Amino acid sequence: MNRFISNQSKELKKKLFKLFDRIPNSTSYWHLSDAKDRFEENFKKHPNSPHLLNYKKNPITYEYNNYGFRTPDDFILKEEGNVFLGCSHTFGIGHYLENTWSYKLSKKIGGKFYNISEPGSGIQLQYEYLNYFKDKIKFNNLFHFLPDECWVRFNPKTKEMLVYNNFEPNDLVKIYLNLILDLCKSLGVNYYLLTKSYIRRNLDDSPNIDAFHPKWNPARDLSHYYSEEHDEICSIFYEKFLNNDTVRHQEIKKEIFDKLI
């Protein structure tokens, strides 16, 4: 098993920052599914949507740090903070940064906002990022949002399903959760995990997001979670933080794995 992980790690580290071509210390106005052409297409369908009109008037910006991640804080060893790990929901695709659960939680608990989330990533790449940055930033807590839609991902270049030497998805999640748990233990870091998914699908498998929702604010791409769902994720993590509800013992590991099956 360790040989499998080691071989996978070497290959992934070669590609670590070549997946989505973000430029460090730069700003962009569109990213991946939150693309200009998609917004224009949605705006044609829903020209009177108050939410889309707001995005048109007040565009979203994606500002990247010294490693090309969406946070105002550079990854350095001088100041302590907290790590936020996940996929596009933690990165904040389609949302103003201040509306994302990770940014809100960071403001609540204080410390540097070390957001190493990667859109489109699954647990394998998320572990690789954590393992890569463990010696490049100082952090006390790890907040990991792992909804089931990001257990298994597609190769971002070939658009094909990633193959893991015939490992089943649930087995792969177990393997990498163990690795993350062991890494946090070795660093003396508190590990907080949430696996709840908020995704909605229509019968044709397209995202079910209301461009005219009377109370909730949809993501600009009309695909990702509502802002209010980010509020709920933030609240759940904050409650875990206050109660020291961490992932830490073998019996808790088993409980989490049973829920993931």
| Torsion angles phi and psi, residue 17, rounded to 5 | -115, 25
Residue 183 scores a pLDDT above 90: yes
The per-residue pLDDT for 148 is 77
Which residues, other chains included, contact 16 with Cβ-Cβ below 8 Å and sequence gap of 6+? 128, 129, 132
pLDDT for res 22? 84
The mean per-residue pLDDT over the stretch 193-207 comes to: 74
- Please, is 122 exposed, middle or buried when counting C-beta atoms within 10 Å of its C-beta (0-12, 13-18, 19+)? buried
- Of 78-92, 131-145, 169-183, the one with minimum mean pLDDT is 169-183
Q: How confident is the model at residue 204 (pLDDT cuts 50, 70, 90)?
A: low
Phi-psi domain of 26 (left: phi exceeds 0; alpha: psi -120 through 50; beta: other): beta
Quote the Cα angle for 47-45-20, to 5°.
Answer: 100
- Average the pLDDT over each of 44-53, 124-133, 167-176, 248-257 and give the range with the smallest value: 248-257
pLDDT bracket for residue 6 (50, 70, 90)? very low
How does residue 19 score in pLDDT terms, banded at 50, 70 and 90? low
Distance separating alpha carbons of residues 242 and 109, to the nearest angstrom = 9
Cα–Cα distance, 91 to 107 (Å, whole number): 16
Band of pLDDT at residue 208, cut at 50, 70 and 90: confident
61: Cβ contacts below 8 Å, ≥ 6 apart? 27, 28, 29
Q: Which fold has domain 24-260?
A: Rossmann fold (3.40.50)
pLDDT digits (tens, 9 = 90+) for 92-125: 999 999 999 999 999 999 999 999 999 988 888 8
- If one counts every other C-beta atom within 10 angstroms of the C-beta of residue 114, the result is 28
> What percent of the chain lies above the pLDDT cut of 70?
76
Q: Cβ(118)–Cβ(84) under 8 Å?
A: no
pLDDT at residue 109, rounded to an integer: 97
Report residue 150's pLDDT band, with 50, 70 and 90 as the boundaries.
Answer: confident
- What's the Cα-to-Cα distance from 201 to each of 53, 192, 206, 209, 225, rounded to whole Å? 24, 27, 6, 9, 12
- 120-129, 158-167, 214-223, range with the lowest pLDDT: 158-167
Identify which has the larger pLDDT, 93 or 77: 93
pLDDT score at 248: 66
